[in-house]
Structure 1
Amino acid sequence: MSGRFAVILAAGQGTRMKSKLYKVLHQVCGKPMVQHVVDQVQNVGFDETTVVVGHGAEQVKDTLRGEVTFSVQDEQLGTGHAVRCAEDALTGKKGVTVVLCGDTPLLTAKSIEKLIKTHEAAGAKASVLTAVAPDPTGYGRVMRNEAGHVQKIVEHKDASEEERLVSEINTGTYCFDNEQLFAALAEVTNDNVQGEYYLPDVIEILQQQGQTIAAYQTESFDETLGINDRVALSSAEAVMQARINEYWMREGVTLIDRKTTYISAEARIGRDVVVHPNVTIKGPSLIGEDCEIGAGSEIVNSTLGSLVHVRQSLVVDSEVGSGVAIGPFAHLRPNTKLEDDVRVGNFVELKKSTIGKASKVSHLSYIGDADIGSDVNVGCGVVTVNYDGRNKFKTTVEKEAFIGSGSNLIAPVQIGERAFVAAGSTITDDVPGEALSIARARQVNKENYVKKED
């Protein structure tokens, strides 16, 4: 029975990135570039996917663990040698093997699938993914015969003037008969200037054996972009972001200015959401329907229900219910949960706290390590004093309580149901339900004080 196998080459060091981070782990729209490749391969559906790792192997394994198997290329001796490092995983298996590069994050499942179908329809032993390059300088040219099959691949430096006029280029992605691939790799030598074993040499070997070599030309050259430096990384980011933004607009999301809107590849957005300019949505954020994300807001790894309005605010690692209003200029720090119909106003900071249904924290307050019940009103300038210099403590405010402006709640402390805290109080002891607590110095007026000082 024939199978489908994928080999992803991810062993190169990427010195031109000039980075401490291993090349294929550099992110494109919030996701490591090699993860993009793996995701597209999984969308196609393969029986087995092997990632060939070398430099930074453990980091790549940590990123992809559980999704693929790994082969190790201890020495980087060329693409042919890299594929041979996966031989133990695939030897003797019947079917097609697709070889891809881990630094081509823009390649789509659609193109991979069409390459395989072209390969199978032609009865080919090898097939090449090609593209028409606006400027093919430096790329290997794909020369076809009258039947449309690949006659040869000519490297730019070896091409004649006539051959250099050809704009169809080799992208470095291939489809092979698995058994023929490894049989031909055994014949590849490193008799070249670089002293490396080149995968394209397999094409020449199979041609000399009279085997059919097919090709599928991608619809977009951008898909084939390989990332070797920061300039290419930026180009890939722009292409991917345009692709993501167009997808969400076609799914019913309004982007007021798509050129200044950043949406990660992992985010999910409901219909009739309006996103204003200069908004950033990072990580696996989930935004429900009918939300409005105001200009300059940033949503990071957070879940928003429906009918949420965020104005010029930062929401990080938080959970927001439906009908919630946030901002302007609010900061939701990690582990914050807002239940439905909560109001969080301007210059409010929340951290590791739950705000109950229909409660309000309207202005200039800090709520940290707190559990606020439903229908609570937190006045202007309220602070939960949760840290004594060594440990954090919890503040609990039960439902329908009222916390007056300028109050300090010294944790650990509990404010009972329907209790009242008078404005300007510093609360150090629990307040019973329905009680009024006043904790401030009695006002004393010194008459004619200024005149005496004069």
Structure 2
Amino acid sequence: MPLAGKSLAERLVEQFLGAGVDEVVIVAGERGDMFQTEFEARETVSVVETDAESYGAAILEADPSEGFACATGDIYVSDGEIRRAVESLQDGQMSVLAEPSDRDRGFGFLKLGEQELLDSASQQTNETKPLISTGVCGLKPGFLQSLEKSDGNLINALDVAAQSSDVNVEMVRGVYTRVDSPENMFEAGNEVRRNLTGRISKDASIHDTAHVSDEAVIRAGAEVGPNATVLGQSYIGEETEIGAGTIVENSSIHSGTQALNADVRRSAVWEDAVLDPETSVERSIVCEESVVRSGTSITQSFIGPRSHIEVNNSIRGVKFVPDARTDLSEISK
């Protein structure tokens, strides 16, 4: 999944390497070949393909021989949170980052009761309700024995270790989002765009009559046509065509996509997609290589990869599977 030109996996790899990790191991399931291709040029990244059915089982498959930091592959998190997990190991202490359970966006409850926790102000506080693990941890090889005893259940193993003070539980200080829904994808995209540098490439082509916000990011090879408007913290990727009259507001349009007199607001359009004239996309995700024909309106929907949406559809609250080619005009209007 791309966020402003980079996949979630690539962002996590760069965060770990930037925090001082020597080697990154990606534990992948049935899409392992995709990761092999994406990272084959990186000597510090290796991919282990496995049928592990849980995060804990995946850690066991990686079989680290030294202290290691880890995270699930479906999150967007601040650089500082990854760095804290790495630094805790450098200080000789295991750690797990957690959020209050009312945030309800982690992957498992930590049943810690009255344990003293380290809050965002680095002061100790009593937390009586369960916490949710973010999956960002700094762990030692010895922890693998506890994980094996828990049958690969990471949450149970962390609970045991935390209650015996072997693992510090620290509250998230920066940004953490589990990217498991269109809404969370958009939230993560907002955070990424907010922190991008190098706003407008000198190799981008912007027509004299186009309007581009000072907050927008436009990459090399992109074309912004006559009377097109790029508003707010929008991202326009490499070799993207923003056609005449197109409006892009607080959205990401990824590399190779054509938006031809389209209206895109608070959305993400992935690589090599086509939005025909008079299409509207709002608060939605349109995945790679999808085609949306003229006169179609898409709102609060997830359009899977390589989908083909025929003319004059009105789609709201729909999730398309990959390669969908059904004309939904009979059921969506």
Provide the residue aligned with 1:157 in structure 2. none
Partners of 1:280 and 1:297 within 8 A in 2: no
**Are positions 1:65 and 2:30 aligned together?**
no
Match of 2:139 among 176, 185, 190: 176
The offset of 1:81, in angstroms, is 1.0
| Structure 2 counterparts to residues 200-279 of structure 1, below 5 A | 200-207=155-162, 210-220=164-174, 223-244=175-196, 247=197, 256=213, 258=215, 261-263=216-218, 277-278=230-231
Distance 1:31 1:300, change over 3 A: closer
Provide the residue aligned with 2:57 in structure 1. 81
Distance in 2 (CA, whole Å) between partners of 1:219 and 1:72 is 33
The offset of 1:55, in angstroms, is 1.7
Distance in 2 (CA, whole Å) between partners of 1:57 and 1:183 is 26
Partners of 2:27 and 2:58 within 8 A in 1: yes
Partners of 2:29 and 2:49 within 8 A in 1: yes
Distance in 2 (CA, whole Å) between partners of 1:217 and 1:226 is 16
Q: Which amino acid aligns with 1:101?
A: T
| Structure 2 counterparts to residues 249-398 of structure 1, below 5 A | 256=213, 258=215, 261-263=216-218, 277-278=230-231, 281-283=236-238
Distance in 1 (CA, whole Å) between partners of 2:132 and 2:254 is 39
Distance in 2 (CA, whole Å) between partners of 1:40 and 1:81 is 23
Partners of 2:147 and 2:153 within 8 A in 1: no
The offset of 1:69, in angstroms, is 0.9
Provide the residue aligned with 1:97 in structure 2. 68
The offset of 1:112, in angstroms, is 1.4
Distance in 2 (CA, whole Å) between partners of 1:199 and 1:135 is 20
Q: Which amino acid aligns with 2:133?
A: N
| Structure 2 counterparts to residues 181-192 of structure 1, below 5 A | 181-189=143-151
Between Structure 1 and Structure 2, whose CA radius of gyration is higher?
1
SS in 1 for 2:87: helix
Provide the residue aligned with 2:84 in structure 1. 114
The offset of 1:147, in angstroms, is 4.9
**TM-score, normalised to structure 2's length?**
0.54
> Structure 1: 5+ residue runs without aligned partners?
1-25, 151-161, 190-196, 250-254, 268-275, 286-293, 303-311, 313-454
The higher relative CO (CA closer than 8 Å, separation ≥ 6) is in 2
Q: Which amino acid aligns with 2:84?
A: K
Provide the residue aligned with 2:109 in structure 1. 140
Distance 1:262 1:213, change over 3 A: same
Q: Which amino acid aligns with 1:215?
A: V
**Are positions 1:127 and 2:95 aligned together?**
yes
Distance 1:133 1:236, change over 3 A: farther
The offset of 1:84, in angstroms, is 1.0
Q: Provide Cα deviations, 1:218-252, integer angstroms capped at 9, x if missing partner.
A: 323xx3212223332222222222232xx557xxx
> Structure 2: 5+ residue runs without aligned partners?
120-126, 200-211, 221-228, 262-333
**TM-score, normalised to structure 1's length?**
0.41
The offset of 1:183, in angstroms, is 1.9
Q: Provide Cα deviations, 1:73-97, integer angstroms capped at 9, x if missing partner.
A: 12x421111111111xx2xx33x21
Q: Percent identity?
A: 16
Q: Provide Cα deviations, 1:255-286, integer angstroms capped at 9, x if missing partner.
A: 7353xx3556xx7xxxxxxxx7347531499x
Number of aligned residue pairs: give it: 221
The offset of 1:128, in angstroms, is 0.6
Distance in 2 (CA, whole Å) between partners of 1:117 and 1:109 is 12
Distance in 2 (CA, whole Å) between partners of 1:230 and 1:132 is 22
CA RMSD of aligned residues (A): 4.0
Distance in 2 (CA, whole Å) between partners of 1:231 and 1:217 is 23
Distance in 2 (CA, whole Å) between partners of 1:228 and 1:300 is 19
Provide the residue aligned with 1:153 in structure 2. none
Partners of 2:15 and 2:79 within 8 A in 1: yes
SS in 1 for 2:53: coil
Q: Provide Cα deviations, 1:373-424, integer angstroms capped at 9, x if missing partner.
A: xxxxxxxxxxxxxxxxxxxxxxxxxxxxxxxxxxxxxxxxxxxxxxxxxxxx
The offset of 1:61, in angstroms, is 1.0
SS in 2 for 1:102: coil
Distance in 1 (CA, whole Å) between partners of 2:254 and 2:179 is 26
